Amino acid sequence: MVDARSVEAESRASSPGRRFVERFGEARWLIIAVAVAICFFYLLGLIDFIGSVLTFSLVAFLIGVIPFSAPSGRSPSVSPPQQATWPETSIKLFAEALPDPCFVLDRRGIVRFANAGATAAFPIKPGDPLTFRLRIPELAAAFDRVANGGGPERVEFSERVPTERWFAAWFARLDSPTVGDFVVMILDDLSERRRIDRIRVDFVANASHELRTPLASLAGFIETLQGSARDDAEARERFLAIMHNQATRMSRLIDDLLSLSRIELKVHVRPSDPVDLAPILSHLTDSLEPLARELGVSIETNMPREPVVVTGDRDELVQVFENLIENAIKYGQSGKRVVVTVKPGTLGAGPVVSIRDFGPGIAEEHLPRLTERFYRIDVEESRQHRGTGLGLAIVKHILARHSARMTIESRPGEGALFSVSFPQDESEVNSQRAEYY
C-alpha cells in the first residue's frame, strides 16, 4: 500500500502555505535589499519605527502573493531535486493498483517506489539501486536503453536461488514536465507456466516412448512372420503371444491416458453421490484374490461393521483402491502380506483407508515423485508387472477431485503404507479444495 505519510507530505508540498514559503525563498535577495533600504531610511529619519515595520510587512506580503517566473520555464512550485528523484502520488497509486510487482526507477536505476507485490517478491528498499538485488546483465542493458530514450522493452530472466524461478520484465519510460523522468519496471512471474510447459513436453516424450517400444516390437515380429518364419508354426505361436502382450500393453497405456484426460477435464467438479467404502473394498479384495494367490500374497482386511459413507464417484473410487491394492500385491510381493484397513470418521477427522504391504519398501528420495506421470522406481520391474507409470498419477487426480488426501510412508526393508484421508464436512472440503487448486 502507498505510505499515508508520503501522500500527506506531498499534499502539504502543494498547499498555499507551502507555495507562500517557497516564494519567500526564491525572493530572498529582494527581501534583503528591501530590509537594507528601510533601515537606511530609518537611520536618516525619513520614516519612524512603526512605519518601517509596516512598510517591510507590506513588501513581504506582496512578495509572498505575487508569483515569480522561473528562468528555465519550470514552475517554481516544484523544486528540481524533487522533480528528478521522487514520483508523484498519482504514479505511486497507479503502481500500487497493479497486481504484478512494479518498481518506479529514476534514470540512474535507483528504486524510488515499489508496490506491495514488488517488496514481497524482492527485498529492495526505495533508495537502493536495482542492481543490489537483480544483477542480470540483460536486465541492466534493457534499462539503460529505455532510460536513454529507447522504446518499451521486454526481457526474460531466471533466478536459481533459493529455487528456480522465471520472470519477464517490462520497461517503459514516464516523461512528464511536472514529475520528471522515470522508468517503470513491471515483473511477470513465469515460473508456473514454465513448469507446466516442461511437464507437457516430458509427458509427450514419455508417452511417445512408451508407445514406440511395443510398436517397434510388433513391426519386427510382423516382418519376421512375413519372411523367414512364415512356415514355422512354433515360432509363429511364440511371436503371436508376444505380439498379443505388446498390443495389450499399448491398449492399457491408451486407456490410462484417456482416463487421466477425462479426470483432468472434471477435476474442479466435486462429485455429490454418497458412497459406502466398505462394500467397495470387500469386492476389490475378492476380485484381486486370484492375483494375490498367484503371487503368493495373502490379503487381510480390517473393516468396521457400520457403513463408512463418503461423498464421491463410485467408479472413480473403485479405480483408486484397485490401483493401490494391486500395486501393494505386485510390488510388495516379497512381504507375502497386504493389509487393507478402513477407519470410520471421528469428531474432527474423516474416514481413512490404508493399504499396507511388507515388501522391500521405497527409498525416501522417491516418495515425493511417485505420483508424477511415467515416474518409475524400477522401469524393468514396472514393465514386468504390466505397469504404465500412470496409475498413481490417476489416483492423485481422482483424490483431488474428491478433496481427499493421500500420504505415503515407507522405509527400505519395512514395506510401504498408503493412506487415503477423506474430508469430514463441507468446511474441510473447501479447505482441501483450496490446497489443490
The H or E element that residue 47 is part of is: none
pLDDT at 33: 72
Which stretch of 53-57, 103-107, 239-243 has the lowest confidence by average pLDDT? 53-57
Would you place residue 27 in the very low, low, confident or very high pLDDT band (cuts 50, 70, 90)?
A: low
The H or E element that residue 265 is part of is: helix 233-265
Alpha carbons within 13 A on the beta-carbon side of 319:
20
Rounded-to-integer distance, Cα 362 and Cα 418, Å: 12
Burial code (b: 16+ CB inside 10 Å, e: under 16) for 307-344 equals ebebbbbeebbbbbbbbbbbbbbbbbbebebbbbbbbb
Residues 121, 127 contacting (CB under 8 angstroms): no
Which stretch of 194-198, 337-341, 415-419 has the lowest confidence by average pLDDT? 194-198
Q: What's the mean pLDDT in 164-168?
A: 84
Q: Is the pLDDT of residue 40 over 50?
A: yes
Rounded-to-integer distance, Cα 179 and Cα 363, Å: 61
**How many beta carbons lie within 10 A of that of residue 171, not counting itself?**
23
Would you place residue 79 in the very low, low, confident or very high pLDDT band (cuts 50, 70, 90)?
A: very low
Extract the C-alpha cell encoding 395.
489416483
Residues 84, 40 contacting (CB under 8 angstroms): no
Residue 285 identity (one-letter amino acid): T
Quote the longest CA-to-CA distance of the chain.
Answer: 142
What is the architecture, at CATH level 2, of domain 193-265? Orthogonal Bundle (1.10)
CATH among 3.30.565.10, 3.40.630.30, 3.20.20.10, 3.30.300.30 for 273-436 = 3.30.565.10
Q: Provide the strand spans (E) within 177-308.
A: 180-189, 273-276, 298-302
Q: Is the pLDDT of residue 333 over 70?
A: yes
Antiparallel, parallel or unpaired: β 180-189 and 405-410 = unpaired
Q: What's the mean pLDDT in 286-305?
A: 89
Max avg pLDDT among 74-88, 326-340, 412-426: 326-340
pLDDT at 73: 41
Full-model pTM: 0.52
Rounded-to-integer distance, Cα 222 and Cα 303, Å: 50
pLDDT tens-place string over residues 421-435:
998 754 444 444 444
Q: Which of 80, 81, 130, 79 is nearest to 108 (CA)?
A: 130
pLDDT at 4: 34
pLDDT tens-place string over residues 176-206:
666 568 888 888 888 888 877 777 777 777 7
Which position has the higher pLDDT, 75 or 416?
Answer: 416
Q: What's the mean pLDDT in 245-253?
A: 80
Q: What is the mean pLDDT of the chain?
A: 77
Burial code (b: 16+ CB inside 10 Å, e: under 16) for 79-111 equals eeeebeebbbbebbeebbeeeebbbbbbbebeb
Would you place residue 420 in the very low, low, confident or very high pLDDT band (cuts 50, 70, 90)?
A: very high
pLDDT at 22: 55
pLDDT at 419: 93
Would you place residue 16 in the very low, low, confident or very high pLDDT band (cuts 50, 70, 90)?
A: low
Residues 160, 136 contacting (CB under 8 angstroms): no
Give me the helices (H) in 44-185, please.
49-65, 80-85, 89-97, 116-121, 137-147
Percent of the chain with pLDDT over 70: 76
Would you place residue 223 in the very low, low, confident or very high pLDDT band (cuts 50, 70, 90)?
A: confident
Q: Is the pLDDT of residue 354 over 90?
A: yes
Would you place residue 228 in the very low, low, confident or very high pLDDT band (cuts 50, 70, 90)?
A: confident
pLDDT at 197: 78
pLDDT at 2: 35
Which stretch of 28-42, 263-277, 293-307, 339-353 has the lowest confidence by average pLDDT? 28-42
Residues 341, 278 contacting (CB under 8 angstroms): no
pLDDT at 383: 62
Q: What's the mean pLDDT in 155-172?
A: 82
Rounded-to-integer distance, Cα 326 and Cα 315, Å: 16
Extract the C-alpha cell encoding 430.
473447501
Extract the C-alpha cell encoding 37.
533600504
Which position has the higher pLDDT, 196 or 279?
Answer: 279
Q: What's the mean pLDDT in 30-42?
A: 71
Q: What's the mean pLDDT in 227-235?
A: 79
pLDDT at 109: 85
Q: Which of 65, 46, 44 is nearest to 55 (CA)?
A: 46
Residue spans of the domains in the chain: they are 4-70, 83-189, 193-265, 273-436
The length of the chain in residues reads: 437
- List the Cα angle 68/70/71 in 5-degree steps: 130
Would you place residue 348 in the very low, low, confident or very high pLDDT band (cuts 50, 70, 90)?
A: confident
pLDDT at 253: 79
**What is the CATH T-level fold of the domain 83-189, as seen in this structure?**
Beta-Lactamase (3.30.450)
SS (H, E, C) 292-351: HHHCCCEEEEECCCCCCEEEECHHHHHHHHHHHHHHHHHHCHHHCEEEEEEECCECCECC
State how far the alpha carbon of 66 is from the alpha carbons of 1, 24, 60, 247, in Å. Answer: 38, 10, 10, 95
pLDDT at 355: 93
Extract the C-alpha cell encoding 162.
533459493
Rounded-to-integer distance, Cα 395 and Cα 387, Å: 14
pLDDT at 234: 82
3-class secondary-structure state, position 186: strand
pLDDT at 272: 82
pLDDT at 335: 84
